[in-house]
Amino acid sequence: MKHDRFHGRVTSSQQICEWPGCTQPGEFRAPGGRGPGFDGPGDYRWFCLDHVREFNAGYDWFEGMSAEEILRAQSPIHGWDRQTRAFSPTAGIDSAPRWADFPDPLEAISQRARARRPAERSDGRVMTPAERRALDVLALPLDADRAALRSRYSQLVRRYHPDRNGGDRSHEQRLQQVVEAYQLLRKAAAFR
């Protein structure tokens, strides 16, 4: 078995180096302008060895981060404080599909489209995907009524508001999510 000296080299690539003015074969991938998302795995740029080295030397993964975000990203336990997408309650509904889980990319897209369809309540009213996400934030069932909405909102505001927690502001983001969800749902047709 012959090992290549350079990890990541794609010798079967028919790409040309994308560095301006270079005509060497582009055997190394680098991150492109569009990252992975709903529309697919993302773009790559192809460079020759010299230019991928130059690209990597100028690449700053921490670009745009504050000092606190950089410190958190460098922590050895970074990422362990949150649920992974596969085990989250929404199973990654609002993020890109795991393309490798599907033999055909169209299956991934159709599964996502099914998850985004409006849901119908038992009273016949339709809930949009945004309204369903708001119900999830408030931990309310699809058939909740206006009284349940107001009661749950009051409960969560009391739980997360800094004035009720001795000035502790660690739950501010969660409180903001609750307020935004309530504002959306109180105007929804299902709660009028």
Q: Which of 82-96, 122-136, 142-156 has the highest mean pLDDT?
A: 142-156
The distance in angstroms from the start CA to the end CA of the chain is 70
pLDDT of 70 > 80? The answer is yes
DSSP at 15: -
For residues 145-156, give the mean pLDDT: 93
pLDDT of 149 > 90? The answer is yes
CA dihedral for 100, 101, 102, 108, sign (positive or negative)? negative
The pLDDT, as a whole number, for residue 5 is 65
The pLDDT, as a whole number, for residue 81 is 64
CA gap 15, 141 in Å, rounded: 52
CA gap 6, 84 in Å, rounded: 32
CA gap 107, 150 in Å, rounded: 39
For residues 155-178, give the mean pLDDT: 86
Mean of the per-residue pLDDT values for the chain?
80
For residues 33-57, give the mean pLDDT: 80
The pLDDT, as a whole number, for residue 31 is 80
The pLDDT, as a whole number, for residue 183 is 93
The pLDDT, as a whole number, for residue 189 is 83
The pLDDT, as a whole number, for residue 172 is 86
The pLDDT, as a whole number, for residue 148 is 92
Every domain of the chain with CATH number 1.10.287.110 lies at: 118-191
Task: Give exposure, 8-44, as e/b (b: 16+ Cβ within 10 Å).
Answer: eeeeeeebebbbeeeeebbbbbbeeeeeeeeeeeeeb
Topology given in CATH for the domain delimited by 118-191: Helix Hairpins (1.10.287)
Q: Using one digit for the tens of pLDDT, what is the confidence trace for 78-127? A: 766 666 655 555 555 556 666 667 777 777 777 767 666 777 888 888 88
Higher pLDDT, 48 or 12: 48
- Cα-trace Rg, the chain: 24
